[in-house]
Amino acid sequence: MTQTAHAILKHVFGYHDFRGPQESVINALVAGEDALVLMPTGGGKSLCYQIPSLVREGTGVIVSPLIALMQDQVSALHELGVRAGFLNSSLSTQEVWQTEVALQNGELDLLYVAPERLIQARTLELLQNVKIALFAIDEAHCVSQWGHDFRADYLKLDMLQRVFPQVPRIALTATADVRTRDEIIVRLQLQNAQQFITGFDRPNIQYRIQQKNNPKAQLLRFLREEHNTHSGIVYCLSRNKVEQTAEWLCGEGFNALPYHAGLSAQVRQKNQSRFLRDEQIIMVATIAFGMGIDKPDVRFVAHLDLPKSIEAYYQETGRAGRDGDASTTFLLYGLEDVVKQRQMMASSEGNEEFKRNEQQRLNAMLGLCEITTCRRQTLLRYFGDNLLQPCGNCDSCLTPAQTWDASEAVRMALSCVYRTGQRFGAGHVIDVLRGSSNEKINSFGHQQLTTYGIGKHLTADEWRSVFRQLVARGLLDVDTNGFGGLLLNDSCRAILRGEEKIQLRRDIKVTANAVARKQGVAVDAEDQPLWNALRACRKRLAEEHGVPPYVIFHDATLREMLERRPTSPANLLLITGVGDSKLKRFGDEFLAVIRASEYAE
């Protein structure tokens, strides 16, 4: 060992202390042991394999499914003075050859490899003839066939244990329930690995879930009142909705870009690059976007459609606030989302066990949406993590939900579903309950039913809330083989007979200001000129080096410069995030900006 882990942490990465279990993970790998790491997004997983790769003899090989992001990851390491490269399908034959020669000559500290490239015979032969420090399997939940990001190539990574039995392996993920965790262990042959499972809580993220009620207006109010100048992500279920939403947001004055699998690789790469490198960009995307995104200053993640599981929701919302600053998640959902998700599950090609498990995951997600208690406690409990006190930073804590005795209304709703033949969606049943007169009601003779008009005391929105909650609680089923007709089931019998009472959430229109808080970096007015100058310096250097601004320095590093005003290289080196390489490359530029501000004052 030429350098200790602590020395590398300080001089290469510019940090003074390890966080959480980082040091224990690093020590295990340096000692040649295997490790399984579950750590929330932004928790510092990459250091857990980067530092051991620098301490141990040889090259650390990182298996990553994120071809589009490897270049940025390697560029960021180059700025730190770390010798890194990657092998994937985006390289030319000449570039592949150059990288392989560098590997053979011992000139790489880290090598990023796509899983499909790693399992090729040529790559395995190459790696068998060089010294490997360790194998890191990033986004390890991709190995799980029950997971939302399953990658078939990951199933073949168990061969690493057989082909390279003396090389330590580390599997890392931010998203895995107990079942997925167990599957990772079995499929990657990590039964003897040390397990490092930290809490899943991201206290800087505010969780908010609202019922859909003119979703465009709701999103627009959210953005304009809280995130008018911030970068963020808006998730939609369909490609068509992605493009329509991006175009609409541009028309409203935002810089919005679309991203989905139907776009060409060139367009996806261009849009992703703009999102990572520019400021105040909103990415409107399907779930095809986001895994591994390392942009630290994403201030919000909004969902315009219901995610299919808590795992998906947790991972997607986790892309906000990686820098630790205040960030918001904003989910809008309605009954139509539940119907659509259940129809998609019913038509999937999975076997019955797969469909049953997917249904359980969706039900858990619906439960999170409908609870009236702290959302963070429920979210963390799903992953086996307990929060003893309500968080005080979710909409349920900040604006506690009201409930009402809905027993009579629910009996009306269930009776009307039954009397209309259990073949119609909520919209038609609501029209019958409210005594509407339209062609569809008349054609079926539903104005003659005993339930016709008995629900005039509730608005259409209130009835939609009733039906949404009944479906979410499993008291009504949705016909997934037809047009989303509502069906009674055994669970609703006791309520229908009047043997049980039921409390439902009372939906209220929540304005953004009711739960909003100041987002992002707060800078006093007198410090604003220096703050702007530091950011401008970072932006210029990022453009010169062809990397995103955060690769030069994170906002947290600039904020510390703002607070401490270092005027010498020695003092600048004390700032978190400033290592030897970055001091040498960028130190004079930032010191000049700080000194100029001192003179200006």
Pairwise CA distance, residues 89 & 21, whole Å: 34
Go through 104-118 and write b for each residue having 16 or more CB atoms within 10 A of its CB, e for each that does not.
eeeebbbbbbbbbbb
Q: What is the pLDDT of residue 292?
A: 67
Pairwise CA distance, residues 236 & 223, whole Å: 16
DSSP for 401-445, written as a single string: PEEEE-HHHHHHHHHHHHHTTS-S-HHHHHHHHTT---HHHHHHT
CA-based R_g, the chain, Å: 27
Pairwise CA distance, residues 287 & 527, whole Å: 39
CA of 340: how far to CAs of 219, 238, 259, 561, in Å?
Answer: 21, 11, 21, 50
Q: What is the pLDDT of residue 80?
A: 92
Beta carbons of 36 and 190 less than 8 angstroms apart: yes
Pairwise CA distance, residues 323 & 312, whole Å: 21
Furthest C-alpha separation in the chain: 87
Beta carbons of 80 and 128 less than 8 angstroms apart: no
| CA-based nearest residue to 282, from 263, 301, 304, 260 | 301
Alpha helices in 527-576 (DSSP H): 528-545, 549-552, 555-564, 569-572
Beta carbons of 143 and 184 less than 8 angstroms apart: yes
- The pLDDT tens digits for 223-250 are 999 999 899 999 999 999 999 999 999 9
| In the predicted structure, residue 279 carries a pLDDT above the cut 50 | yes
Pairwise CA distance, residues 395 & 409, whole Å: 26
The conformational region for residue 384 under phi > 0 = left, psi -120 to 50 = alpha, else beta, is left
Which residues neighbour 325 within 8 Å (Cβ) at sequence distance 6 or greater?
204, 297, 299, 519, 520, 521, 555, 556
> How sure is the predictor about 193, in pLDDT bands with cuts at 50, 70 and 90?
very high
Residue type, 485: G
The domains of the chain, with CATH numbers, are: 5-197 (3.40.50.300), 205-399 (3.40.50.300), 403-503 (1.10.10.10), 525-600 (1.10.150.80)
> How sure is the predictor about 533, in pLDDT bands with cuts at 50, 70 and 90?
very high
Which tokens in the block code for residue 320?
Answer: 């906000």
Pairwise CA distance, residues 417 & 193, whole Å: 54
Beta pairing partners, 235: 285, 303
Q: Is 102 strand, coil or helix?
A: helix
Read off the pLDDT of each residue in 104-120 and give the average, rounded to a whole number: 92
Go through 231-244 and write b for each residue having 16 or more CB atoms within 10 A of its CB, e for each that does not.
bbbbbbbebebbbe
Go through 306-331 and write b for each residue having 16 or more CB atoms within 10 A of its CB, e for each that does not.
bbbbbbbbbbbbbbbbbbebbbbbbb
pLDDT, averaged across the chain: 88
Q: What is the pLDDT of residue 472?
A: 78
> How sure is the predictor about 600, in pLDDT bands with cuts at 50, 70 and 90?
very low
Read off the pLDDT of each residue in 111-121 and give the average, rounded to a whole number: 91
Pairwise CA distance, residues 376 & 378, whole Å: 5
Go through 471-505 and write b for each residue having 16 or more CB atoms within 10 A of its CB, e for each that does not.
bbbebbbbbbeeebbbebeeebeebbeeeeebebb
- The pLDDT tens digits for 55-90 are 999 999 999 887 777 888 898 899 999 999 999 888
Go through 555-590 and write b for each residue having 16 or more CB atoms within 10 A of its CB, e for each that does not.
bbbbbbbbeeebeeeeebbebbbbbbbbbebbbeeb
| In the predicted structure, residue 114 carries a pLDDT above the cut 70 | yes
Beta pairing partners, 478: 486
Pairwise CA distance, residues 354 & 339, whole Å: 18
End-to-end CA distance of the chain: 48
Helix (H) or strand (E) holding 111: strand 110-113
Pairwise CA distance, residues 564 & 424, whole Å: 66
| In the predicted structure, residue 386 carries a pLDDT above the cut 80 | yes
Q: What is the pLDDT of residue 510?
A: 53
Pairwise CA distance, residues 201 & 365, whole Å: 17
Q: What is the number of residues in the chain?
A: 601
Q: What is the pLDDT of residue 109?
A: 95
3-class secondary structure per residue, 341-375: HHHHHHCCCCCHHHHHHHHHHHHHHHHHHHCCCCH
Read off the pLDDT of each residue in 302-323 and give the average, rounded to a whole number: 91
Any idea which of 165-174, 253-262, 359-368, 473-482 has the lowest mean pLDDT? 473-482
Instruction: Please tell me which residue, 355 or 546, carries the higher pLDDT value.
Output: 546
Beta carbons of 375 and 399 less than 8 angstroms apart: no
- The pLDDT tens digits for 470-519 are 887 878 888 766 667 888 988 888 888 888 898 888 876 655 454 555 45
| CA-based nearest residue to 333, from 302, 304, 353 | 304
Phi, psi of 333 (to 5 degrees): -150, 160
Which residues neighbour 201 within 8 Å (Cβ) at sequence distance 6 or greater?
40, 376, 380, 385, 387
Which tokens in the block code for residue 378?
Answer: 């429920």
| In the predicted structure, residue 163 carries a pLDDT above the cut 70 | yes
Q: Is the dihedral of CA 391, 395, 400, 404 positive or negative?
A: negative
DSSP secondary structure code for residue 400 in this structure: P
pTM for this prediction: 0.78
| CA-based nearest residue to 230, from 290, 297, 184 | 297
Beta pairing partners, 558: none
Residue type, 69: L
Q: Is the dihedral of CA 23, 24, 26, 31 positive or negative?
A: positive
